Structure 1
Amino acid sequence: MSQLQDNFGRRFHYLRMSVTDVCNFKCTYCLPDGYRPDGKPKFLSLNEIENLVTAFGEVGTQKIRITGGEPSLRKDFSDIIRIVADNRNIKTIATTTNGYRLEKNAQQWYDAGLRRINVSVDSLDPKMFHQITGENKFDEVMRGIDAALEAGFERIKVNAVLLKGMNDKDLPQFINWIKDTPIDLRFIELMETGLGHDYFTAHHLSGLDIKRQLERDGWLYDLPNVDDGPAQNFSHSDHKGRIGLIMPYAKDFCASCNRLRVSAKGKLHLCLFTENGLDLRDLLQDSSQKAELIERLHGQLAQKKETHFLHQGVTGVTQHLASIGG
């Protein structure tokens, strides 16, 4: 099968697959009022997930990140990991988590086949962590990261959303932490969503400010490889960890796009912003539908736009990042 490719020559080998909208944190930039279900949601079943993974694996997908909401809230989370791990076409299996269940489950998830993990830690100050996430779970999350290091994950990343007036004073503390801790620390520039104009205006901080400071302090830019996401990564000879900057408002941010998204209810999203998504669920019910599903995927890539238009103030239809897995 030919690899998924759009009209701009971009090839897509990375799928972010959401398995639930539910999250037990109330992060101010994502779900400030907490998760509010619309009726009784019916998220993708294990059978639907397996058919989805099989089809994507045959059109060049090599990396799958299991996302949410908080994916580990699904009781069958380890089974989902195994489905992805058992597919010979998928070379990299990752997840993004708030770390709430990481301490108890890191080894189990590793044994199921998970190899890379991103943990959201928006501040190393427990009080600010509580203020941003709505949960007083800082110590539990940090113990979870230690458990992941002990379990032997090949790559651990810690995500922090840059928030002016909240965690923007934490940079020295973060940098000191990764001096002896071999993790990738990633600062993510706040993105405006449909529900967050006032919040965005109050708290947006450009990642370029952080980049200039890193360069002044001797951090060196790492050339990207094919498996990298959108982050610009930096290393320092005195630090075991790396720093990555994700700056969606930067020039040419979309030029290297290599990822697609499927929501927890089976909709394909060509971009985190701009469109409502295309339903795939009708073609996920039986493995015999694979050829038709692949044909639909190829057809949709022709609709992918060149950029997200965030820099022009277009926030699209995405109400909050938990709705399609961030």
Structure 2
Amino acid sequence: MDKFSRIIDYIRISVTDRCNLRCRYCVNEAFPFMPHAEVLRYEEIIRFVRVCAELGVTKIRLTGGEPLVKLGIEFLVKEIHAIDGIEDISLTTNGVYLGKKVPQLKEAGLRRVNISLDTLQPERFAYITRVDAYKDVLDSIEKAKDMGLNPVKINTVIIKGFNDDEILDFARFAKAWDVEVRFIEFMPFGESTLWDSTKIIPSHEIEELIRKTYTLAPSLNSHKGPAKMFNMVGSLGRIGFISPVSTHICRECNRLRLTSNGMIRPCLFSDTEFDVKQLLRDNADDDALKEFISRCVREKPEKKHEIGLLKKCQKSLRNIGG
């Protein structure tokens, strides 16, 4: 528990800063990678999760970069799944490689998957990602559903002037495919020069637009988190809204982040981070690790920004973990 009585039981772990896409709002053309030696090894991640589980963490999400570019990711899922206390393992992916890995990941213990998809137009997908892989992502969504990784969640960043004309298309997609589409406000991160505040569309505007065509019924978020959820009447599809810019979601925050180079970030929008990799590589004992992690939790801020005054984070999501 942190200083503000929030129970921290969820850790998002970036396993790599590397990605097979070059999304324009995430990176610039240079796209430098971390040296391999700086990235946490699987055995270090596994030990970190075990210690966190002993402190009360029950939920792990693996992210990147793109976690499925990491060799042997199924091994990591299996080892985390075997740790006492871990009840839920999920994965955030761009979906390009997921279709080929779903059976192995499901067997290893993966419960759920979030797939990032910002457009339903193949040409636009190729433009924003700089890769022609739209069909691969749709195939991955279908295979994830077939393998029972439900609910399959689609993360969609809405950017004014780029894909805001597809809001109703995504709502229709959620209803037709029985998936959960979560609209995410455009957030300011790191290297990209694409972001500016005029391109943000507040969640309430997206919700109002969707309600003109579809009937939405309030829904409980089955996994505690920042999304405001709705059922789409007449289908199994759901719509969600994640509003880090227009609405305070800090009071519901139950997570820490572990970056791919071994830094604990108590807050996504703060550049404050703590080096746990050094302790792991110095073979610090479990008690020292627990005290360090607990101290990081105590440093978690109550809130990091005022509405409309969000400071641009100096690192990209591929470094922090999406």
- CA spacing shift, 1:105–1:198, aligned 2, 3 Å: closer
1 CA distance for matches of 2:9 and 2:160? 34
Report whether the alignment pairs 1:218 with 2:215. Answer: yes
Of 291, 314, 317, which residue of structure 2 is paired with 1:318?
Answer: 314
Which residue number corresponds to residue 52 of structure 1? 48
- SS of 1:311's partner is coil
> Superposed, which structure 2 residues align to 1:246-265 within 5 Å?
246-265=242-261
Report whether the alignment pairs 1:24 with 2:20. Answer: yes
- SS of 1:160's partner is strand
TM superposition shift of 1:203 = 2.2
Letter in 2 for 1:220: A
Letter in 1 for 2:248: D
Which residue number corresponds to residue 150 of structure 1? 146
Of 56, 59, 63, which residue of structure 2 is paired with 1:63?
Answer: 59
Once the two structures are superposed, residues 222-268 of structure 1 have per-residue CA deviations (whole angstroms, 9 ceiling, x without a partner) of 2345x221110111221221011100023331111111100111110
Report whether the alignment pairs 1:270 with 2:266. Answer: yes
Of 90, 95, 103, which residue of structure 2 is paired with 1:94?
Answer: 90
> Superposed, which structure 2 residues align to 1:98-177 within 5 Å?
98-177=94-173
Which residue number corresponds to residue 13 of structure 1? 9
TM superposition shift of 1:317 = 4.4
- CA spacing shift, 1:67–1:86, aligned 2, 3 Å: same
User: Aligned residues: percent identity?
Assistant: 32
2 CA distance for matches of 1:98 and 1:67? 10
TM superposition shift of 1:127 = 1.1
Letter in 2 for 1:53: V
Report whether the alignment pairs 1:205 with 2:190. Answer: no
Once the two structures are superposed, residues 281-322 of structure 1 have per-residue CA deviations (whole angstroms, 9 ceiling, x without a partner) of 133248872111111111122221111216353426432111
With structure 1 as the length reference, what TM-score do the two structures score?
A: 0.92
Letter in 2 for 1:219: L
Letter in 2 for 1:60: G
Which residue number corresponds to residue 294 of structure 2? 298
Which residue number corresponds to residue 230 of structure 1? 226
Once the two structures are superposed, residues 185-216 of structure 1 have per-residue CA deviations (whole angstroms, 9 ceiling, x without a partner) of 11110111244576223522111101222344
Of 268, 275, 280, which residue of structure 1 is paired with 2:276?
Answer: 280
Q: Which runs of 5+ in 1 are unaligned?
A: none
- CA spacing shift, 1:324–1:66, aligned 2, 3 Å: same
Q: How many residues align?
A: 321
With structure 2 as the length reference, what TM-score do the two structures score?
A: 0.93
Letter in 2 for 1:191: M
> What is the RMSD computed on CA atoms of the aligned residues?
1.9
Letter in 2 for 1:48: E
Q: Which runs of 5+ in 2 are unaligned?
A: none
- CA spacing shift, 1:242–1:177, aligned 2, 3 Å: same
Instruction: Verify the 8 A CA contact 2:113 2:152 in the aligned structure 1.
Output: yes
